[in-house]
Structure 1
Amino acid sequence: MPLWIFYHPPQAFQDPETKRALAKSITDLYYNKSKLPAFYVNVFFQVIPADSYYIGGVARPSVAVNETGETNNSSSETSRPFIRITIEHIARTFSSSRGRDGFLRAVDRILKPYIADAGYDWEYNMTETIRELWKVQGMVPPMPGSKADLEWYRLNRAVPFEATDGGLEVQAVTKAGAKEGAKEGAKEGAKAGAKL
Protein backbone atom coordinates (compact mmCIF):
# COMPACT_ATOMS: atom_id res chain seq x y z
CA MET A 1 0.00 0.00 0.00
CA PRO A 2 1.38 3.38 -0.84
CA LEU A 3 0.61 5.84 1.94
CA TRP A 4 1.16 9.54 1.22
CA ILE A 5 0.78 12.13 3.98
CA PHE A 6 0.92 15.84 3.18
CA TYR A 7 1.68 17.93 6.27
CA HIS A 8 0.74 21.49 5.41
CA PRO A 9 -0.24 24.86 6.91
CA PRO A 10 -3.93 25.87 6.83
CA GLN A 11 -3.59 28.13 3.78
CA ALA A 12 -2.36 25.28 1.56
CA PHE A 13 -4.70 22.75 -0.03
CA GLN A 14 -7.85 24.63 1.01
CA ASP A 15 -9.79 23.66 -2.10
CA PRO A 16 -11.29 20.13 -1.96
CA GLU A 17 -11.04 19.87 -5.76
CA THR A 18 -7.28 20.48 -5.62
CA LYS A 19 -6.87 17.71 -3.05
CA ARG A 20 -9.06 15.36 -5.09
CA ALA A 21 -7.09 16.06 -8.29
CA LEU A 22 -3.74 15.54 -6.56
CA ALA A 23 -4.93 12.30 -4.93
CA LYS A 24 -6.18 11.07 -8.31
CA SER A 25 -2.84 11.87 -9.98
CA ILE A 26 -1.02 9.92 -7.27
CA THR A 27 -3.44 6.99 -7.53
CA ASP A 28 -3.12 6.92 -11.32
CA LEU A 29 0.66 6.65 -11.00
CA TYR A 30 0.33 3.37 -9.12
CA TYR A 31 -2.78 2.05 -10.86
CA ASN A 32 -1.59 2.65 -14.41
CA LYS A 33 2.17 2.14 -14.08
CA SER A 34 2.52 -0.46 -11.31
CA LYS A 35 -0.85 -2.18 -11.72
CA LEU A 36 -1.69 -1.75 -8.05
CA PRO A 37 -5.36 -1.86 -7.07
CA ALA A 38 -6.53 1.75 -6.66
CA PHE A 39 -7.78 1.04 -3.13
CA TYR A 40 -4.19 0.36 -2.03
CA VAL A 41 -3.34 4.05 -2.50
CA ASN A 42 -3.97 6.23 0.58
CA VAL A 43 -3.48 10.01 0.44
CA PHE A 44 -3.97 12.08 3.60
CA PHE A 45 -3.85 15.86 3.98
CA GLN A 46 -2.88 16.81 7.52
CA VAL A 47 -3.27 20.47 8.46
CA ILE A 48 -0.63 21.74 10.89
CA PRO A 49 -1.23 25.17 12.49
CA ALA A 50 1.59 27.68 11.90
CA ASP A 51 2.36 27.77 15.63
CA SER A 52 2.97 24.00 15.50
CA TYR A 53 5.04 23.93 12.30
CA TYR A 54 8.73 24.74 12.73
CA ILE A 55 11.50 24.47 10.17
CA GLY A 56 14.97 25.22 11.51
CA GLY A 57 13.39 26.43 14.75
CA VAL A 58 11.26 29.01 12.93
CA ALA A 59 7.48 28.81 12.51
CA ARG A 60 6.43 28.34 8.88
CA PRO A 61 4.96 30.39 7.50
CA SER A 62 5.95 33.39 9.59
CA VAL A 63 6.98 36.97 9.04
CA ALA A 64 10.67 37.85 9.20
CA VAL A 65 9.99 40.54 11.81
CA ASN A 66 7.10 40.14 14.24
CA GLU A 67 4.87 42.86 15.72
CA THR A 68 7.34 43.52 18.58
CA GLY A 69 10.23 44.06 16.17
CA GLU A 70 11.97 40.71 16.84
CA THR A 71 13.50 38.93 13.86
CA ASN A 72 13.24 35.21 13.37
CA ASN A 73 16.97 34.95 12.51
CA SER A 74 16.34 32.74 9.51
CA SER A 75 18.26 32.94 6.26
CA SER A 76 15.33 31.46 4.30
CA GLU A 77 12.09 33.05 3.14
CA THR A 78 9.90 32.14 6.10
CA SER A 79 6.68 33.67 4.79
CA ARG A 80 6.41 30.85 2.22
CA PRO A 81 4.37 27.85 3.36
CA PHE A 82 6.36 24.65 3.76
CA ILE A 83 4.86 21.31 2.69
CA ARG A 84 6.32 18.12 4.17
CA ILE A 85 5.40 14.85 2.49
CA THR A 86 6.04 11.31 3.66
CA ILE A 87 5.54 8.38 1.31
CA GLU A 88 5.47 4.80 2.55
CA HIS A 89 5.62 1.79 0.25
CA ILE A 90 4.53 -1.64 1.41
CA ALA A 91 2.86 -3.47 -1.49
CA ARG A 92 5.82 -3.11 -3.83
CA THR A 93 9.44 -2.08 -3.40
CA PHE A 94 12.03 -0.99 -5.93
CA SER A 95 14.26 -3.70 -7.32
CA SER A 96 16.66 -1.31 -9.07
CA SER A 97 18.02 2.20 -8.78
CA ARG A 98 16.77 2.89 -12.30
CA GLY A 99 13.18 2.08 -11.29
CA ARG A 100 13.52 4.12 -8.12
CA ASP A 101 14.96 7.15 -9.92
CA GLY A 102 12.25 7.01 -12.58
CA PHE A 103 9.60 6.88 -9.89
CA LEU A 104 11.07 9.89 -8.08
CA ARG A 105 11.00 11.86 -11.34
CA ALA A 106 7.32 10.93 -11.74
CA VAL A 107 6.64 12.09 -8.16
CA ASP A 108 8.31 15.43 -8.91
CA ARG A 109 6.17 15.86 -12.05
CA ILE A 110 2.97 15.11 -10.11
CA LEU A 111 3.79 17.48 -7.24
CA LYS A 112 5.04 20.42 -9.32
CA PRO A 113 1.70 22.01 -10.28
CA TYR A 114 0.31 21.65 -6.75
CA ILE A 115 3.33 22.67 -4.70
CA ALA A 116 6.29 24.15 -6.58
CA ASP A 117 4.11 26.17 -8.97
CA ALA A 118 2.05 27.40 -6.01
CA GLY A 119 5.20 28.96 -4.53
CA TYR A 120 5.55 26.59 -1.58
CA ASP A 121 8.77 25.16 -0.20
CA TRP A 122 8.66 21.40 0.07
CA GLU A 123 10.44 18.21 0.96
CA TYR A 124 9.54 14.55 0.75
CA ASN A 125 10.97 11.21 1.69
CA MET A 126 9.99 7.65 0.94
CA THR A 127 10.35 4.54 3.05
CA GLU A 128 9.87 0.91 2.08
CA THR A 129 8.37 -1.43 4.64
CA ILE A 130 8.60 -5.20 4.54
CA ARG A 131 5.52 -6.85 3.14
CA GLU A 132 5.31 -9.45 5.91
CA LEU A 133 4.11 -6.77 8.36
CA TRP A 134 1.08 -5.79 6.25
CA LYS A 135 -2.52 -6.99 6.12
CA VAL A 136 -5.68 -5.75 4.41
CA GLN A 137 -9.06 -6.60 5.96
CA GLY A 138 -7.19 -9.10 8.15
CA MET A 139 -5.71 -10.89 5.12
CA VAL A 140 -2.14 -11.19 3.93
CA PRO A 141 -2.40 -9.55 0.48
CA PRO A 142 -1.73 -11.66 -2.60
CA MET A 143 1.69 -11.59 -4.20
CA PRO A 144 2.24 -9.24 -7.16
CA GLY A 145 1.02 -10.68 -10.46
CA SER A 146 -0.80 -13.61 -8.85
CA LYS A 147 -4.34 -14.60 -9.86
CA ALA A 148 -5.73 -13.10 -6.63
CA ASP A 149 -3.71 -9.89 -7.08
CA LEU A 150 -5.20 -9.43 -10.54
CA GLU A 151 -8.67 -10.05 -9.09
CA TRP A 152 -8.15 -7.40 -6.39
CA TYR A 153 -6.99 -5.02 -9.12
CA ARG A 154 -10.06 -5.77 -11.26
CA LEU A 155 -12.57 -5.47 -8.39
CA ASN A 156 -10.74 -2.60 -6.64
CA ARG A 157 -11.31 -4.20 -3.25
CA ALA A 158 -9.97 -6.94 -1.03
CA VAL A 159 -11.76 -10.27 -1.35
CA PRO A 160 -10.90 -13.65 0.20
CA PHE A 161 -8.75 -15.95 -1.94
CA GLU A 162 -7.01 -19.31 -1.85
CA ALA A 163 -3.37 -19.14 -0.77
CA THR A 164 -2.24 -20.77 -4.01
CA ASP A 165 -4.17 -18.16 -6.06
CA GLY A 166 -2.37 -15.44 -4.12
CA GLY A 167 1.08 -17.00 -4.49
CA LEU A 168 1.28 -17.36 -0.71
CA GLU A 169 1.47 -21.13 -0.29
CA VAL A 170 4.63 -21.38 -2.37
CA GLN A 171 6.11 -18.46 -0.45
CA ALA A 172 5.34 -20.15 2.90
CA VAL A 173 6.91 -23.43 1.74
CA THR A 174 10.00 -21.59 0.49
CA LYS A 175 10.39 -19.77 3.81
CA ALA A 176 9.90 -22.99 5.77
CA GLY A 177 12.55 -24.67 3.63
CA ALA A 178 14.92 -21.76 4.16
CA LYS A 179 14.42 -21.96 7.94
CA GLU A 180 15.06 -25.70 7.92
CA GLY A 181 18.18 -25.16 5.81
CA ALA A 182 19.39 -22.50 8.22
CA LYS A 183 18.92 -24.88 11.17
CA GLU A 184 20.90 -27.59 9.40
CA GLY A 185 23.62 -25.09 8.52
CA ALA A 186 23.82 -23.97 12.15
CA LYS A 187 24.15 -27.58 13.33
CA GLU A 188 26.96 -28.24 10.85
CA GLY A 189 28.67 -25.00 11.87
CA ALA A 190 28.46 -25.97 15.55
CA LYS A 191 29.95 -29.40 14.80
CA ALA A 192 32.81 -27.84 12.85
CA GLY A 193 33.42 -25.33 15.63
CA ALA A 194 33.51 -28.10 18.25
CA LYS A 195 36.21 -29.93 16.28
CA LEU A 196 38.47 -26.86 16.29
Structure 2
Amino acid sequence: MSLWLIYHPPTTFETASAKAALAESVTKLYARFIPALYVNILFIPIGPDSFYVSGVARPSPAPNSAEPGPDPTVPFIRVHISNIARTLPSPEAKVRFLEAVDKVLKPHIEDMGYDWEYHIEETDRDLWKIQGLVPPPPGSDEEKIWAGQNKATK
Protein backbone atom coordinates (compact mmCIF):
# COMPACT_ATOMS: atom_id res chain seq x y z
CA MET A 1 0.00 0.00 0.00
CA SER A 2 0.93 3.58 -0.45
CA LEU A 3 -0.82 6.04 1.82
CA TRP A 4 -0.65 9.75 1.03
CA LEU A 5 -1.92 12.09 3.73
CA ILE A 6 -2.29 15.55 2.22
CA TYR A 7 -2.74 18.20 4.89
CA HIS A 8 -3.95 21.45 3.37
CA PRO A 9 -5.82 24.66 4.17
CA PRO A 10 -9.53 24.57 3.28
CA THR A 11 -8.84 27.19 0.59
CA THR A 12 -6.86 24.62 -1.42
CA PHE A 13 -8.13 21.44 -3.07
CA GLU A 14 -11.63 22.89 -2.76
CA THR A 15 -13.21 20.86 -5.55
CA ALA A 16 -13.67 17.18 -6.14
CA SER A 17 -12.03 17.59 -9.55
CA ALA A 18 -8.88 19.13 -8.03
CA LYS A 19 -8.62 16.22 -5.58
CA ALA A 20 -9.37 13.64 -8.26
CA ALA A 21 -6.71 15.06 -10.59
CA LEU A 22 -3.99 14.74 -7.95
CA ALA A 23 -5.24 11.31 -6.84
CA GLU A 24 -5.15 10.13 -10.46
CA SER A 25 -1.58 11.39 -10.89
CA VAL A 26 -0.45 9.67 -7.70
CA THR A 27 -2.16 6.42 -8.67
CA LYS A 28 -0.52 6.46 -12.12
CA LEU A 29 2.87 6.90 -10.46
CA TYR A 30 2.41 3.71 -8.45
CA ALA A 31 0.34 1.61 -10.87
CA ARG A 32 3.47 0.81 -12.88
CA PHE A 33 4.80 -1.11 -9.85
CA ILE A 34 1.90 -2.12 -7.61
CA PRO A 35 -1.83 -2.79 -8.01
CA ALA A 36 -3.81 0.44 -8.08
CA LEU A 37 -5.96 -0.82 -5.21
CA TYR A 38 -2.90 -0.41 -2.97
CA VAL A 39 -2.89 3.38 -3.50
CA ASN A 40 -4.75 5.48 -0.91
CA ILE A 41 -4.88 9.28 -0.86
CA LEU A 42 -6.53 11.25 1.95
CA PHE A 43 -7.12 14.99 1.68
CA ILE A 44 -7.18 16.44 5.17
CA PRO A 45 -8.22 20.10 5.38
CA ILE A 46 -6.68 21.87 8.35
CA GLY A 47 -7.96 25.29 9.44
CA PRO A 48 -5.38 28.08 9.53
CA ASP A 49 -5.72 28.32 13.29
CA SER A 50 -4.52 24.69 13.46
CA PHE A 51 -1.75 24.76 10.82
CA TYR A 52 1.48 26.43 11.94
CA VAL A 53 4.91 26.61 10.32
CA SER A 54 7.72 28.30 12.29
CA GLY A 55 5.11 29.22 14.89
CA VAL A 56 3.04 31.15 12.32
CA ALA A 57 -0.45 30.14 11.20
CA ARG A 58 -0.53 29.17 7.53
CA PRO A 59 -2.09 30.84 5.80
CA SER A 60 -2.20 33.91 8.02
CA PRO A 61 -4.68 36.69 7.23
CA ALA A 62 -1.92 39.29 6.99
CA PRO A 63 1.83 39.11 6.53
CA ASN A 64 4.19 40.40 9.16
CA SER A 65 6.55 42.24 6.83
CA ALA A 66 9.09 42.72 9.63
CA GLU A 67 9.72 38.97 9.85
CA PRO A 68 12.09 37.08 7.54
CA GLY A 69 10.98 33.91 5.78
CA PRO A 70 8.21 32.88 3.42
CA ASP A 71 5.06 34.92 2.97
CA PRO A 72 2.72 33.63 5.71
CA THR A 73 -0.36 34.46 3.61
CA VAL A 74 0.59 31.71 1.14
CA PRO A 75 -1.11 28.36 1.79
CA PHE A 76 1.19 25.59 3.02
CA ILE A 77 0.65 21.97 1.95
CA ARG A 78 2.20 19.11 3.94
CA VAL A 79 2.29 15.60 2.47
CA HIS A 80 3.08 12.48 4.48
CA ILE A 81 3.74 9.46 2.26
CA SER A 82 3.89 5.91 3.64
CA ASN A 83 5.07 3.13 1.35
CA ILE A 84 4.29 -0.41 2.47
CA ALA A 85 3.77 -2.59 -0.61
CA ARG A 86 7.29 -1.96 -1.91
CA THR A 87 10.45 -0.40 -0.56
CA LEU A 88 13.00 1.52 -2.57
CA PRO A 89 15.98 -0.81 -3.05
CA SER A 90 18.85 1.64 -3.50
CA PRO A 91 19.91 5.27 -3.05
CA GLU A 92 19.49 5.74 -6.81
CA ALA A 93 15.94 4.40 -6.67
CA LYS A 94 15.17 6.80 -3.83
CA VAL A 95 16.43 9.76 -5.87
CA ARG A 96 14.35 8.66 -8.88
CA PHE A 97 11.26 8.28 -6.68
CA LEU A 98 11.74 11.73 -5.13
CA GLU A 99 11.99 13.17 -8.65
CA ALA A 100 8.81 11.32 -9.67
CA VAL A 101 6.95 12.64 -6.60
CA ASP A 102 8.13 16.18 -7.40
CA LYS A 103 6.80 15.78 -10.94
CA VAL A 104 3.43 14.53 -9.67
CA LEU A 105 3.06 17.38 -7.17
CA LYS A 106 4.27 20.18 -9.44
CA PRO A 107 1.04 21.01 -11.33
CA HIS A 108 -1.17 20.53 -8.27
CA ILE A 109 0.89 22.33 -5.63
CA GLU A 110 4.07 24.06 -6.84
CA ASP A 111 2.50 25.57 -9.96
CA MET A 112 -0.41 26.83 -7.81
CA GLY A 113 2.08 28.96 -5.89
CA TYR A 114 1.66 27.09 -2.60
CA ASP A 115 4.48 26.41 -0.17
CA TRP A 116 4.95 22.71 0.41
CA GLU A 117 6.89 19.91 2.01
CA TYR A 118 6.72 16.12 1.99
CA HIS A 119 8.44 13.13 3.47
CA ILE A 120 8.36 9.43 2.67
CA GLU A 121 8.53 6.57 5.10
CA GLU A 122 8.77 2.88 4.38
CA THR A 123 6.81 0.57 6.64
CA ASP A 124 7.26 -3.15 7.29
CA ARG A 125 5.12 -5.06 4.79
CA ASP A 126 4.62 -7.85 7.34
CA LEU A 127 2.33 -5.58 9.38
CA TRP A 128 -0.22 -4.91 6.64
CA LYS A 129 -3.56 -6.43 5.63
CA ILE A 130 -6.37 -5.54 3.22
CA GLN A 131 -9.89 -6.80 3.93
CA GLY A 132 -8.30 -9.00 6.62
CA LEU A 133 -6.01 -10.63 4.04
CA VAL A 134 -2.24 -10.58 3.89
CA PRO A 135 -1.40 -9.18 0.44
CA PRO A 136 0.26 -11.65 -1.90
CA PRO A 137 4.01 -11.54 -2.53
CA PRO A 138 5.20 -8.77 -4.88
CA GLY A 139 4.97 -9.75 -8.54
CA SER A 140 3.25 -13.07 -7.77
CA ASP A 141 0.45 -14.53 -9.87
CA GLU A 142 -1.93 -13.89 -6.96
CA GLU A 143 -0.94 -10.22 -6.84
CA LYS A 144 -1.59 -10.01 -10.58
CA ILE A 145 -5.09 -11.37 -9.94
CA TRP A 146 -5.66 -8.72 -7.25
CA ALA A 147 -4.43 -6.07 -9.68
CA GLY A 148 -6.66 -7.33 -12.50
CA GLN A 149 -9.73 -7.43 -10.27
CA ASN A 150 -8.72 -4.21 -8.49
CA LYS A 151 -9.67 -5.74 -5.15
CA ALA A 152 -8.37 -8.11 -2.48
CA THR A 153 -9.58 -11.65 -3.09
CA LYS A 154 -9.13 -14.98 -1.34
Identity %: 49
- Partners of 2:98 and 2:144 in 1: CA distance: 25
Normalising by the residue count of structure 1, what TM-score does the alignment of the two structures yield? 0.75
Normalising by the residue count of structure 2, what TM-score does the alignment of the two structures yield? 0.95
- Partners of 2:97 and 2:63 in 1: CA distance: 36
Report the 3-state secondary structure (helix = DSSP H, G, I; strand = E; otherwise coil) of the residue aligned with 1:91.
coil
Q: Which structure shows the higher strand fraction?
A: 2
- Partners of 1:128 and 1:74 in 2: CA distance: 35
Report the 3-state secondary structure (helix = DSSP H, G, I; strand = E; otherwise coil) of the residue aligned with 1:117.
helix
- Aligned pairs for 1:1-196 (under 5 A) are 1-31=1-31, 33-34=32-33, 36-62=34-60, 63-65=62-64, 73-160=67-154
- Partners of 2:69 and 2:83 in 1: CA distance: 34
> Gapped runs of 5+ residues in structure 1?
66-70, 161-196
Deviations 1:71-111 (CA, angstroms, capped at 9, x unpaired): 78453211100000000000100111111111111110110
One-letter amino acid of the structure 2 residue matched with residue 17 of structure 1? S
For the pair shown, the structure with the greater C-alpha radius of gyration is 1
Higher relative contact order (CA 8 A, sep 6+): 2
Distance 1:100 1:75, change over 3 A: closer
**Number of residue pairs matched?**
153
**Which position in structure 2 is the counterpart of 1:190?**
none
Report the 3-state secondary structure (helix = DSSP H, G, I; strand = E; otherwise coil) of the residue aligned with 2:78.
strand
> Gapped runs of 5+ residues in structure 2?
none
**Which position in structure 2 is the counterpart of 1:183?**
none
1:64 CA drift (Å):
1.8
